[in-house]
Amino acid sequence: MGLAYKAVTWNRQKKIYDIGILLLIAVYMLVFVVLTSVLHPEVPPPTLIIRSTGTLALLLLHIILVIGPLSRLDKRFLPLLYNRRHLGVIMFLVALVHGGFSILQFHAFGDLNPIVSVITSNTHYGNLMRFPFQSLGLVALILLFLMAATSHDFWLHNLGPRVWKSLHMMVYLAYALIIMHVMLGVVQLEDSPWLVGTLGLGMLLVVGLHLVSARNTFQLDQAVKSGDEQGFVYAGEIDEIEENRAKLMRFEDQSIAIFKYQGKVSAVDNACKHQNGPLSEGKIVDGCITCPWHGYQYLPESGASPPPFEERICTYHIKLIGSSIWVNPHPNSLGTLVEAATISPEV
């Protein structure tokens, strides 16, 4: 793929996903505004916008953070993973409305530049209880902006997967800053005990799901038995894999996707060439391994994308002993043709 900028194209699945997100946002805003207006009629409209968009951005951020571990634990969540980047950009826009209105309301009408005012109007940086919590929101918003602005594939190719991934891992730093922003804000404004409670539950969910999914991955690593004399490693049983689906095998630093299709099994590198998407979570469509994230395709025996595409991934030698799958975890060079192992009809 070249480095030219290609406009984002929407397919049917992306449209359904985006409509779902917009509906969620509309329902949330409506419920928040109606409930607050009834329960707290004294809250002025600008504050209503600041609070509804702040809490909505926080909710969307939680959804973004749990999609990864959820889809590792249960494949039914994979459709949500498919376009998580759209959710990220929308979340940033909602947070921008919140930050923008806050700056307008509290910092726009003095002599100072409004952004300078956010950082310098409260200088109790050494005092936790009076800490300038808005500065934390500002730094988080800048991080969210960097991630949203580089979310397009153009930047992925320009920066390279490693730099891009590191940049986007900053979502966890942004999350920590936002937690502090909200907690310290609530302490100072002596407001919203329900917000602290809900936020605590949200944090438990995010941390808990990440821990459970990390434990599962670790157990998978441990489950791989030691290799045979030809360097093949036991990878599991044929029945564990559904037709046209894969099983993930980890061995030392290798992550290998083992696909079962049309009475055969093949093993390829788990990382998609596009954006390191987990191929083992994809399926075989039209005879090709199809990445669950954005649909890049590879032939299972050669790891090469069908023409006219030119991406290639590593393949691995594979054999069957009865119903047991054995894989040689030494990767072949990109696009090397390896004959699939045939499943005997007696198995």
Q: Is residue 274 part of the contact set for ligand FES (CB under 6 A)?
A: yes
Q: CB-wise, 114 or 161, nearer to ligand FES?
A: 161
- The verdict on whether omega for the bond into residue 308 sits within 30 degrees of 0, i.e. cis, is yes
Binding partner at 296 among ligand FES, ligand HEM, none, C-beta below 5 to 8 Å by kind: ligand FES
Burial of 230 per CB tally in 10 Å (0-12, 13-18, 19+): exposed
Instruction: Yes or no: say if 137 and 102 are a contact pair by the CB < 8 Å rule.
Output: yes
Is beta strand 283-285 parallel, antiparallel or unpaired with respect to 264-269? unpaired
* Terminal Cα distance for the chain, rounded: 42
Q: CB-wise, 251 or 296, nearer to ligand FES?
A: 296
Q: Tell the residue number behind the tokens 């005012």, with chain if given.
A: 117
Q: Is residue 70 part of the contact set for ligand FES (CB under 6 A)?
A: no
In the structure encoding, which two tokens stand for residue 86, read together? 């759209």
Q: How far is the CB of 149 from ligand HEM (least distance, A)?
A: 15
Sign of CA dihedral 2, 278, 330, 337: negative
Binding partner at 72 among ligand HEM, ligand FES, none, C-beta below 5 to 8 Å by kind: none
Q: How far is the CB of 152 from ligand FES (least distance, A)?
A: 12
Q: Is residue 272 part of the contact set for ligand FES (CB under 6 A)?
A: yes
Per-residue burial over 279-306, b if 16 or more Cβ lie within 10 Å, else e, is bbbbbbeeebbbbbbbbbbbbbbbbbbe
Q: How far is the CB of 214 from ligand HEM (least distance, A)?
A: 25
Choose the binding region for ligand FES from 52-60, 125-133, 177-185, 286-294 (rule: CB under 6 A).
286-294
Q: Is residue 157 part of the contact set for ligand FES (CB under 6 A)?
A: no
In the structure encoding, which two tokens stand for residue 76, read together? 């039914």
Choose the binding region for ligand FES from 18-26, 59-67, 237-245, 289-297 (rule: CB under 6 A).
289-297
Q: CB-wise, 185 or 292, nearer to ligand FES?
A: 292
DSSP per position, 130-151: G--HHHHHHHHHHHHHHHHHT-
Choose the binding region for ligand FES from 29-37, 106-114, 121-129, 288-296 (rule: CB under 6 A).
288-296
| Phi, psi of 29, deg, nearest 5 | -60, -45
Q: Tell the residue number behind the tokens 């919203």, with chain if given.
A: 192
Q: How far is the CB of 245 from ligand FES (least distance, A)?
A: 16
Q: Which residues of this protein are in contact with ligand HEM, per CB under 6 A?
A: 47, 50-51, 54-55, 57-58, 61, 95, 98-99, 102-103, 106, 118, 134, 137-138, 140-141, 144, 178, 181-182, 185, 189, 191-192, 195
Binding partner at 339 among ligand HEM, ligand FES, none, C-beta below 5 to 8 Å by kind: none
Q: What span, in angstroms and rounded, lies between the C-alpha atoms of 125 and 115? A: 17
Q: CB-wise, 68 or 100, nearer to ligand FES?
A: 68
Q: What span, in angstroms and rounded, lies between the C-alpha atoms of 246 and 257? A: 6
**Contact positions vs ligand FES (CB under 6 A):** 272, 274-275, 277, 291, 293-296
